[in-house]
Structure 1
C-alpha cells in the first residue's frame, strides 16, 4: 500500500472529507489530493502533521509497519472535539502553539479547553457568562 493510499485510508477511517482534512491540516484540498494520489511526497514536517492529525505513526504512513495504532509511549488521542475546535482559524489562534508543543503542554491545553467547555455546558446564546 502506498503512502497516498494510507493517507486516504486514515482520513476515511476518521470520517473526514478531503476538504475537512485539508482544512484541519492547514493545506489546500488540491495539495491533499496530490498527496493521496502519490503525485506529491510530503516533507518530514508535513509527514509528522499527517501522523498527528490522522492519529497514527509516521512508520505506518511510510509502510514500515502495518500497525496503524499509536504506540503506547504517545498519549492517547481522546480529544477529537478539541482538535476540531483548534483547527478552526477563528479559535485556533488561541491555541496556535498546540501542534508543536511538548506533550505535557498539550495535556494542559486540553484540560483547559475541557474546563471551558464544562463551564459553557447548557449555556444558550445571550445568556450571561459565569
Structure 2
C-alpha cells in the first residue's frame, strides 16, 4: 500500500474529511489531496505531523510495517469523545484547549472531564439565558 493510500486510510478511520484534516494540519485540502494521491511526497516534518494526527507511526505511513498501532494509539478523545474533538478544533473554541493535542494523556483526560462538566452545566440553556448560580 502506498503512502497516499495509507494517509487516506487513516483519515477515513477517524471519519475526517480532507478539509477537516487539512485545516488541522495547517495545509490546504488541495495539498492533502496531492499527498493522498501520491502526486506529492511530504517532507519529514509533515510526515511526522501526519503520524501524530493520525495516531500512527511514520514507519507505518512509509510502508516499513503493516502495524498501524491503531489499538494502542487511538486516544479516547477520538473514539469516545468525538464532540470534544470537534469542539476543540473550532478556532473560536480551540484557543481555550490549545495544548490538548500535545498534552500527556492524563492532562487530556482532565481537559475532557472539564469539558463534560461545562456541557452538563449548559444543557438546556438557550442563548441569552443567564447562567444559574449554585
Where does structure 1 differ by over 6 angstroms across 4 or more consecutive aligned residues?
A: none
- Which residue of structure 2 lines up, in the alignment, with residue 106 of structure 1? 108
- Which residue of structure 1 lines up, in the alignment, with residue 49 of structure 2? 49
Unaligned runs of 5+ in 2: none
Unaligned runs of 5+ in 1: none
- Which residue of structure 1 lines up, in the alignment, with residue 64 of structure 2? 64
Say how many residue pairs are matched. 130
- Which residue of structure 1 lines up, in the alignment, with residue 2 of structure 2? 2
Matches within 5 A, 1:4-43: 4-43=4-43
- Which residue of structure 2 lines up, in the alignment, with residue 87 of structure 1? 89
In the aligned structure 1, how far is the partner of 2:120 from the partner of 2:130? 15
Larger Rg: 2
In the aligned structure 2, how far is the partner of 1:4 from the partner of 1:19? 16
Normalised by the length of structure 1, the TM-score is: 0.78
Once the two structures are TM-superposed, the CA of residue 63 in structure 1 deviates from its matched residue by 2.0
